[in-house]
Structure 1
Amino acid sequence: MSEVLDQIEARAEEIAALGPSNEKLGRLDDRAAELLRETGVIRMLQPAKYGGAEAHPADFAEAVMRLASLDGSTGWVAGIVGVHPWEMAMCDPRVQEEVWGEDNDTWIASPYAPMGVIRPVDGGYVFNGRWQFSSGTDHCDWIFLGAYLGDEKGEAIMPPRVHHVILPRSDYTIVEDSWDVVGLRGTGSKDIIVEDAFIPDYRVVEFSRFTDGSQPREAGLTNPTYHIPFTTAFPLGITSAVIGIAEGALAAHLAYQRTRVQITGTKVKDDPHVLFAISQAAAEIHASRVTMLDNARRFHDKAERGEEVTFAERAESRRTQVSAAWRAVRAMDEVVARSGGNGMRMDNPIQRFWRDGHMGLAHAIHVPGSVFHVQSLTAMDVTPPPGPMLSMI
Structure 2
Amino acid sequence: MLERFRARAAVHDRDNTFPDDDLAELRDAGYLAVLAPRELGGAGLGLVEASALQQRLAGAAPATALAVNMHLVWTGVAKVLADRGSDDLRFVQEGAAAGEVFAFGISEAGNDLVLFGSGTDAAPLPDGGYAFTGTKIFTSLAPVWTQLGLHGLDTTSDDGPRMVYAFVPRSEVQADRVVVRDDWDTLGMRGTQSRTTVLRDAVAPPDRVVRRLAPGPNPDPLVFGIFSVFELLLASVYTGIARRALDLAVAAAGTRTSKRTGKAYSQDPDIRWRIAGMALTYDALPPQLASLAHDVDVAADHGARWFSLLAGVKHRAVTAAKAIVDDAMLVAGGSSYFSANELSRLYRDVLAGLFHPSDPESAHSAVATAWLGPIED
TM-score (norm 1): 0.80
Aligned partner of 1:116 in structure 2 is 120
Contact preservation (8 Å) 1:68, 1:76: yes
Match of 1:69 among 59, 63, 76: 59
Matched, 1:240 2:225: no
Matched, 1:58 2:59: no
Q: Per-residue CA shift, 1:292-340, capped at 9, x if unaligned? A: 2222123333x1xxx5441223322322332232123222212222321
| Separation (CA, whole Å) in 2 of partners of 1:274 and 1:194 | 52
Aligned partner of 2:114 in structure 1 is none
Aligned partner of 1:324 in structure 2 is 317
Match of 1:371 among 348, 360, 363: 363
**What SS is found at the alignment partner of 1:148?**
strand
Contact preservation (8 Å) 1:23, 1:186: yes
Aligned partner of 1:340 in structure 2 is 333
| Separation (CA, whole Å) in 1 of partners of 2:54 and 2:350 | 14
Matched, 1:212 2:208: no
Match of 1:252 among 248, 256, 280: 248
Contact preservation (8 Å) 1:24, 1:186: no
Higher mean C-alpha displacement, 86-95 vs 321-330? 86-95
How far the C-alpha of 1:158 sits from its partner, in A, is: 12
Aligned partner of 1:275 in structure 2 is 272
- Shift of the 207–182 alpha-carbon distance from structure 1 to 2, 3 Å rule, reads farther
- Tell me the amino acid that sits aligned with residue 164 of structure 2: H
Aligned partner of 1:224 in structure 2 is none
How far the C-alpha of 1:265 sits from its partner, in A, is: 6.7
Q: Per-residue CA shift, 1:265-313, capped at 9, x if unaligned? A: 7531232101210121022112122212222123333x1xxx5441223
Give the RMSD, CA atoms, in angstroms: 3.1
- Shift of the 340–203 alpha-carbon distance from structure 1 to 2, 3 Å rule, reads same
- Shift of the 109–229 alpha-carbon distance from structure 1 to 2, 3 Å rule, reads closer
How far the C-alpha of 1:369 sits from its partner, in A, is: 1.5
- Tell me the amino acid that sits aligned with residue 374 of structure 1: A
Aligned partner of 1:169 in structure 2 is 170
Contact preservation (8 Å) 1:243, 1:288: yes
Contact preservation (8 Å) 2:37, 2:45: no
Higher mean C-alpha displacement, 74-83 vs 183-192? 74-83
Contact preservation (8 Å) 1:111, 1:145: yes
Higher mean C-alpha displacement, 40-49 vs 72-81? 40-49
Higher mean C-alpha displacement, 118-127 vs 345-354? 118-127
Aligned partner of 2:33 in structure 1 is 43
**What SS is found at the alignment partner of 1:295?**
helix
- Shift of the 196–252 alpha-carbon distance from structure 1 to 2, 3 Å rule, reads same
- Shift of the 299–215 alpha-carbon distance from structure 1 to 2, 3 Å rule, reads closer
Contact preservation (8 Å) 2:70, 2:102: no
| Separation (CA, whole Å) in 2 of partners of 1:326 and 1:120 | 41
| Separation (CA, whole Å) in 1 of partners of 2:253 and 2:316 | 28
Q: How does 1:1-393 map to 2 (within 5 A)?
A: 11-88=1-78, 90=81, 97=91, 100=94, 104-113=98-107, 114-123=118-127, 124-151=129-156, 161-170=162-171, 171=174, 173-206=178-211, 208=213, 212-214=219-221, 229-262=225-258, 267-301=264-298, 303=299, 308-365=301-358, 367-380=359-372, 382-383=373-374
- Shift of the 158–80 alpha-carbon distance from structure 1 to 2, 3 Å rule, reads same
How far the C-alpha of 1:99 sits from its partner, in A, is: 8.4
- Shift of the 320–30 alpha-carbon distance from structure 1 to 2, 3 Å rule, reads closer
Q: Per-residue CA shift, 1:353-384, capped at 9, x if unaligned? A: 1111111232232x12122223222223x246
- Shift of the 358–158 alpha-carbon distance from structure 1 to 2, 3 Å rule, reads farther
| Separation (CA, whole Å) in 1 of partners of 2:159 and 2:261 | 67
Structure 2 residue ranges without an equivalent (≥5):
108-117
- Shift of the 265–355 alpha-carbon distance from structure 1 to 2, 3 Å rule, reads farther
| Separation (CA, whole Å) in 2 of partners of 1:99 and 1:180 | 32
